[in-house]
Structure 1
């Protein structure tokens, strides 16, 4: 029997769903155990970061280093500036990123990671506070830290208890717990979150204004109220909005709006269109918004009134832009 045949026979006897469930249950139980061991050391760690005058630096080797990068990213996006520092590179110059007033969080399952212990004296000399996130609270790293976060797990999900799985999950979850505690302590709001996530859906909803997306200047379908019906149609069809903004010929203020729907209705009346002007066929006193209006509010207004174009005016009620509902929908608002 060749190797491939043997492999196929062995895998056929495995229930992968059961294996996955075992892994997930093992890790969830480990997290529950970690949560029961939370004590005043967690409060101490939070206070160290809140009272720091500098930034948070998170470090770790191997898989712990990967988790450290994720924790740094989560903290940074939720109001606590943080950076990842590779401990080996730190010993060769990257310690220059550390300044007095910073807080360093060191991740290590054993608490004896050589690369971390090697840079500890330098960190102490730089007078930074150290938080240890370890699986052994009596380890060398823990004993030299200012606060210790216990992320010990009974065993890894790996069947040989070797590959970092449960232990890195515990570190990641503890990092999330720290980030969320700091986020709430700093009263970091959804609006603050949106500012740091401008291209995300929430960021767009809470920060994007109609001024960022409206059509302006030569793209604006705008005519004076004295223009003939033919001139109105030419202006409307030369732009992509299927509508025309009508302004007072003397003041330039908004006085009306004419859309494809209005065109269909006026044609059905049988009137002599050649004798009509924009003022005769426009819808007077149309709705408009200002350029500071949030894009999401503009969309909600348009949907509420079942309109597909929104005029944007300045404080003097003079049109400065127009927004089509398709532009808003395409943004994922």
Structure 2
């Protein structure tokens, strides 16, 4: 690990004033420290935000929740209102990492996890995400965990998170503070960027911009589910995951909110999948149409071809579970 300076911020405003191209905020550090040890990330300065007053979960006037960026994943998963009203989020959090890491990892940091692409983590090989313009060996290399949706010639890495998949299904809003004092509210649908030819730019955050809160709208109607398909039962990243919320009324699907992990460079959501379901009777025809919509542009790269049929089967199984009371 290369040497770096350290500062402890006593307010969000003070933290953003420390910002710069080679400055990183650190809270739980569960991802950043690993990247620093491997010299994938080499910040010149760390700004410790872990003691800021951003660790509360509060009701909003609109009937939703306002979650501080420093709320630990374990606390958020166990919060009574999350368990009762947003079970998809609680289950997604509990599906990630280990108990020890969930005790330390923060809500804001979880949104900013970096890919677990083998080539990104290995500084001895090229990687456009780590070193723009150097190439993407994953396309013709071992790519079993890589993306089948939203890829580009420059990058086929997947987003690794569980919590952000549920947050996208729930239409979360990310609240930030910029170095000039301005605050922003960013829909999670606009927060992440596709790789295109700049895969090293993963979000719309500006240099020094600090996530302070995540806001959830009022609880959605319908049944909620999070399912994660992985190589082992714990401490593994998703090959495919589904965060699903479906409401059935009068024998028809009245509302659907579906997001996917393990398939794309960001928590994936496609309106066409939901539109294929709404107004339809739950059953094979509607479920097949939704899967067709999800995978219309899917592309495998050899070792990850299996993700296409796996995603189809996982989505259909989830839709059956979400609508079983109405079938």
Q: Which TM-score applies when normalising by structure 1? A: 0.19
Larger RCO: 1 or 2 (CA < 8 Å, sep 6+): 2
TM-score, scaled relative to structure 2: 0.19
> Hey, which of these two has a bigger chunk of helix by percent?
1
